[in-house]
Amino acid sequence: DTEVTQTPKHLVMGMTNKKSLKCEQHMGHRAMYWYKQKAKKPPELMFVYSYEKLSINESVPSRFSPECPNSSLLNLHLHALQPEDSALYLCASSHGRFANPADTQYFGPGTRLTVL
């Protein structure tokens, strides 16, 4: 199984809503990532978890709150988002410790988020 799954595929939310994005992998990978991608731009790294611990927070606003309940699951909790947060949110995972730059990252299909 070389798949990273993400749910939901699409999400529309108001600025006062609270919602969560979910990412799952069963490849035994120990590093998991959240990226944000705006149209016609490359992905931007948001968070990295390595061995279920938050390793990197790229100065992401606190209205985005990541959580890694176990080694297979990664959540992104959303609260009080702004319209400019509308984007494709991609999850990825890689085999070993985050600090290994020679690991391939496996990406999920993404969640298309629209904030009204």
Partner 1 sequence: KNEVEQSPQNLTAQEGEFITINCSYSVGISALHWLQQHPGGGIVSLFMLSSGKKKHGRLIATINIQEKHSSLHITASHPRDSAVYICAVSGIPDSWGKLQFGAGTQVVVTP
Site residues for partner 1 per CB under 8 A: 31, 40-43, 45, 48, 55-56, 88, 90, 92, 94, 97-110, 112
Quick one: 17 or 106, whose CB is closer to partner 1?
106
Residue 16 CB, nearest approach to partner 1 (Å): 26
Q: Give the pair of three-digit tokens for residue 32.
A: 């998991």
* Residue 20 vs 37, nearer CB to partner 1: 37
| Residue 65: CB minimum distance to partner 1, A | 21
Burial of 61 (0-12, 13-18, 19+ CB in 10 A): exposed
CB of 19 to partner 1, least distance (A): 18
Q: Give the sign of the dihedral formed by CA 51, CA 88, CA 107, CA 6.
A: positive
Kind of pairing between the strands at 111-115 and 10-13:
parallel
